[in-house]
Structure formats: structure tokens, C-alpha cells
Amino acid sequence: MSLLEISLRSLAALAAVLVLPLVAGQAEHKVMAHMQGRLGPMYAGGFHGWAQLVADGVKFVQKEDITPAAADRSVFRIAPAVALIPYVIAIALLPIHPGLSAAEVPGSVLLVLAVIGVGVLGTLMAGWASANKYALVGGMRSAAQLLAYELPLVLSVASVAMAAGTLSLAGVVEAWSPWWLLWQLPGALVFLVAATAELQRVPFDAPIADSEVVMGPWTEYTGLRFAFFMLAEYAGMVVMGLLFGILWLGGWQGPFADQLGWLWTLLKGALIVLLIIWIRVSWPRMREDQLQRLAWTVLVPLALAQLALTAGGVVMTA
Amino acid sequence: MTGLDLAFAATGLVTAAAAALAVTTRQVVHSALWLVVALLGLAGCYLVLGAELVALVQLLVYVGAVVVLIIVALMLTRAPIGPRAEHSTGPAHRVLAACVGAGTGGLVAAVLLPTATRAQVRPAGSEELARQIFSTWVWPFELLSLLLLAALVGAFAVSGLTTSDASGEGTR
């Protein structure tokens, strides 16, 4: 692989992280608005307010970059980068089209899970380094939640990897067949719930609940650093949506997969992102103890049952 | 000196430097964050040696779970911002700790260095690793799980969560 190809692939991954979250964010603006009988942004850019998030970005750039006097300066400043960079790596690993992903790695299923786990550290660093009570409470809530939901997330993905007999995302797509929709359904539901919790989106947004802890770990952030946290959240939505599409919905598989594979992957990912937005509009926030009970008494047993079911299926058909 | 040698030396240096910073910094949360860098460096070492599965599991388990647990524990206790002097030890302790550290390091080096010859790195895939774990090393592996389970049960017994007090307070 030449240097030119490496830089091209890296640039493609970076562009995906800068563009796809904006598309998801704009979709959220408009879909939420229409579900609630509103119009949403209508003016920026002319056509149905398509440039609203670009305008927001320009606004964020102009804001003053403030570090609180009592904060731990260096940790406070690098926390947004720690939150965002893992998603750049994760998006680079996702296979979009047969034989096409920005970076091909043999154990990509594990690597995606591992880097998503690293991204969690950014929230914790922000919560601690802000020297703010709300930020600290939010950081602790977020840590407790992320620890609880990491396990069902990994278990449900492990079930798919077992069914496919490979740790490569592209290999999972190759092995996928439509009857997985039924066979892997419990695991898929567990992943969807755990991924929503991992992204700290409604109904699992207790760590950043603005009516309780202001903005949680992000309370003291402003300007570009705050925008980076927002970008990380939406990039996370895109990564989780695409990952769900690749692992449970067969990724690029569909009619004319050789030509239109990329389209199927993106459509399946977009469907899941829409579902996550729909969930946000429909459910109230869960309390901290309800969060923990759901994770440990429902999701973990369900994921383990799915693992047993998958093992049974693999042994029977082998 | 090949590129791989250079990469191995670089990741090793990063690991060692971050580990040294983790034990010398005066700020307890910084210490945990330097530990993250050290663990990432170690994962890099595994990766350079061709054991990508070990590197990824290192990342997933240690950085993703163990360090997060450490940071949660630090947040629950008093983990102030800025250097703190009251947990600092006197010079006698430091000399003693340095002696113990140097002794342990010397012992490990004395055992390991004579065995260090130029060996061919066999990049074993995930299949080879899985076969080794679940055939040759299956008993140590399972015994370790049993040990962890026993520790977990022991922690429950010590914390008193199993005894129900009369008022019902504190149990759920």
C-alpha cells in the first residue's frame, strides 16, 4: 500500500466523520420537528434549512475558548479529542462495499468495540477535570452507565461473531443470511438498547440530563471543544447505526450488491439512526436505578441466552 | 535494524516512560491516565510482535473496563485537582521502595535476560491462540476464572450484602 493510498483512505475516514454526523444531526432536527408537528430549521441555506448545522459550526468557531480557572488544564483540553478520535478509527474500520473499507483489519469486530471503549474515557476526563460539581456527578453517572452497558454490548456482538465464525466485519457480512433476522433477534435488540445507552442518548441521558445536572461532564465546555463532544455523539450514532446494519442486517447484501452494496450499507445504517432518533422523541428519561436494573437483570441475561442459542445453532448446523 | 525493531523500541519506550510517570506523578487521577498510556503502549508492543488478538483484548479489557473502574473509584473518593502533599511519603520510605523495586526488577532481569536470544517471531493467528488457550492452557485458564469467582463471592461476604438486617434498610 503506497503512502498516497494510505493518506487517501485516512482522508476518506476523516471526511466521513465530518460529514455523516452532520447529516444525522440535520435528520434529527427535521425528523424530530415533523414528529412533533413543527417545521424545524427552515431558513439557513434556503432549502428547508439544510445549512443549519454548518451555521451552528461557524457560530461555535467564533465562541471564546474558555478553560475554568480551577480546572486541570491539560486534561480538560484533551478530553474532547479523546472522545472524538476513537470514532474516527471506528468509522475507518467499517466495510461499506464488498472489499471496501478505509482500513482492513483481521480482527475488526474486536477493534471497533475496543476503540469505542476508549472513547468513554473522554467523558470521564471531562467530568473530573472541569472542577465542577455538576460535571463530577454527571461523570460518575456516565461511568456507572457505561460500565453496565459495555457488557451486554460486547456479549451481543460476540454472538454474531460466533454465528459467522469470524472476527472480521467483512467476514460477518459474507456469512450473513436472512434467517439471522430471526435467529439473532434477541441479540440485536440488546445491542440496540445498549448502544443507545453507550451513546448517552434519551432515554439513557441521565449523565447529561440538562434539567438535573446542567450538561453533566460538558457543563464547562464552550466553543469548538463543546462542538467536538457533540460531533462525537453524532459520530457515535452513525458508527452504531452502521455497525448494527453490518452485523445484523447484512451490510452490503441486497440486489446488485456488486454495484449498489455501498448504498444498502448506508441505507441500513440510516434506518437504525432514524430508529435512535425516534426512540429519543418517544421515551422519557430513565432514573439511575432503573438504568442499572435494566442492564443487569434484563440485558445481560438476554445476551447470555442469545449466546447459548447461537452456540446451539452453530453446533447443530456445523 | 528494521522498521519493526524501531516500532517495537518506540512502543516500549512509550510504555516505560508512561509507567514511570504513573508512579511518580503527585496527582492521583493523572496517575490513572498515565496508566492508560502505558497500557496502550503495551498493546502496541503486542501488535508489533504480531499478536493482534492479545493487543485488542488488552485494549478492550484493560483500557475499556479496568481503568474506567479505577477512575470511578477515584471519583467516589476524594480525588482533588492539583498536587497533594498529604499522601506523600518520607525519604526513608522512598529509598526503601526504590530498593524493593530495583531488587524485583533485577530478579526479573536476571531470570529473563539469559534466555533472551534472537528468536524468530512467529505471527500466530487468532486460531492458533484459541487452540492454545482451550487445549494446552485450559486448566490454568479455568482455575483463574474459579479464583476470580471466589474473590467475588468473598467480596460479597465481606461487604455484608448477604446478611439481611432487621430494619430492611440497606438491602434491596
DSSP string over chain B: --HHHHHHHHHHHHHHHHHHHHHH-S-HHHHHHHHHHHHHHHHHHHHHTT-HHHHHHHIIIIIIIIHHHHHHHHHHS---SS--STTPPPHHHHHHHHHHHHHHHHHHHHHHGGG----------HHHHHHHHHTTTHHHHHHHHHHHHHHHHHHHHHHT-SSPPTT-TT--
Give the domain CATH number at B14. Answer: 1.20.120.1200
Q: Does one domain contain both B67 and B6?
A: yes
Query: Nearest residue on chain B to A137, judged by CA atoms?
Result: B75
From chain B residues 110-169, the ones with a CB under 8 A of any chain A CB are 125-126
- pLDDT of residue A187 exceeding 60, the answer is yes
**B29 and chain A: CB distance < 8 Å anywhere?**
yes
Q: Strand, coil or helix: what is A97?
A: strand
Is B29 in contact with A128 (Cβ distance < 8 A)?
yes
CA B126, CA B56: separation in Å to the nearest integer?
11
Q: Does one domain contain both B68 and B131?
A: no
CA angle A8, A14, A17 (to 5 degrees): 145
Nearest to A300 by CA among A156, A182, A197: A156
Inter-residue contact A101 to A170 (CB < 8 Å): yes
Q: Does one domain contain both B16 and B66?
A: yes
pLDDT at residue B82, as a whole number: 67
Task: Tell me if B112 is assigned to some domain.
Answer: no
CA B13, CA A316: separation in Å to the nearest integer?
49
Q: What is the mean pLDDT of residues B96-114?
A: 90
Q: Which ranges of A206-299 would DSSP assign to H, the alpha helix?
A: 210-213, 223-248, 257-282, 288-293
Q: What is the mean pLDDT of residues A247-251?
A: 87
CA A137, CA A130: separation in Å to the nearest integer?
11
Q: Does one domain contain both B145 and B75?
A: no
Q: Report residue B172's pLDDT band, with 50, 70 and 90 as the boundaries.
A: very low
List the single residue in B52, B63, B76 with the smallest CB-CB distance to A117: B63
Asked if the peptide bond before residue A301 counts as cis, ω within 30 degrees of 0, the response is no
Q: Does one domain contain both B78 and B130?
A: no
Q: Strand, coil or helix: what is A72?
A: coil
Is A106 in contact with B52 (Cβ distance < 8 A)?
yes
Of B32, B65, B84, the one marking the end of a domain is: B84
**B81 and chain A: CB distance < 8 Å anywhere?**
yes
pLDDT at residue A238, as a whole number: 92
Task: Tell me if B94 is assigned to some domain.
Answer: no
Q: Give residue-wise pLDDT tens across range A34-74.
A: 898 888 888 888 888 888 888 888 998 898 888 888 888 88
pLDDT at residue B136, as a whole number: 85
pLDDT at residue B1, as a whole number: 66
Model's pTM, two decimal places?
A: 0.84
Is A118 in contact with B63 (Cβ distance < 8 A)?
yes
Number of domains into which chain B is organized: 2
Of B84, B117, B137, the one marking the end of a domain is: B84
Query: Nearest residue on chain B to A151, judged by CA atoms?
Result: B65
Range in A27-36, A150-159, B15-24, B84-93 the model is least confident about: B84-93
Q: Report residue A18's pLDDT band, with 50, 70 and 90 as the boundaries.
A: confident
pLDDT at residue A107, as a whole number: 79
pLDDT at residue B165, as a whole number: 55
CA A285, CA A203: separation in Å to the nearest integer?
4
> What mean pLDDT value characterizes chain B?
81
Q: Does one domain contain both B1 and B79?
A: yes
Nearest to B68 by CA among A238, A220, A198: A198
Q: Does one domain contain both B76 and B2?
A: yes
Domain that holds residue B142: 125-172
Q: What is the mean pLDDT of residues A230-237?
A: 90
Q: Report residue B86's pLDDT band, with 50, 70 and 90 as the boundaries.
A: low
For A59, A61, A146, B4, B10, the CA distances from B40, given in Å and listed in that order, are: 36, 32, 20, 17, 12
pLDDT at residue B87, as a whole number: 66
Cell numbers standing for residue A83 = 472522545
> What mean pLDDT value characterizes chain A?
87
- pLDDT of residue B168 exceeding 50, the answer is no
Of B29, B51, B84, the one marking the end of a domain is: B84
Task: Tell me if B114 is assigned to some domain.
Answer: no
pLDDT at residue A305, as a whole number: 93
Task: Tell me if B92 is assigned to some domain.
Answer: no
CA A195, CA A203: separation in Å to the nearest integer?
12
Task: Tell me if B71 is assigned to some domain.
Answer: yes
pLDDT at residue A188, as a whole number: 92
Q: Give residue-wise pLDDT tens across range A81-132.
A: 988 888 888 888 888 888 777 777 777 888 888 888 888 888 888 888 888 8
Q: Does one domain contain both B131 and B55?
A: no
CA B61, CA A203: separation in Å to the nearest integer?
27
Task: Tell me if B55 is assigned to some domain.
Answer: yes
Q: For this complex, say whether ipTM is above 0.95.
A: no
Task: Tell me if B134 is assigned to some domain.
Answer: yes
Q: What is the mean pLDDT of residues B35-41?
A: 90
- pLDDT of residue A182 exceeding 70, the answer is yes
pLDDT at residue B123, as a whole number: 64
Is A147 in contact with B126 (Cβ distance < 8 A)?
no
Highest mean pLDDT: which range of B36-45, B62-71, B127-136: B36-45
Task: Tell me if B103 is assigned to some domain.
Answer: no
Is B60 in contact with A72 (Cβ distance < 8 A)?
no
**A116 residue type, one letter:** I
Q: What is the mean pLDDT of residues A265-293?
A: 90
pLDDT at residue A241, as a whole number: 93
- pLDDT of residue A154 exceeding 50, the answer is yes
Torsion-angle region of residue B164: left (phi > 0), alpha (psi -120 to 50) or beta?
beta
- pLDDT of residue B169 exceeding 70, the answer is no
- CB count within 10 Å of CB A180 equals 22
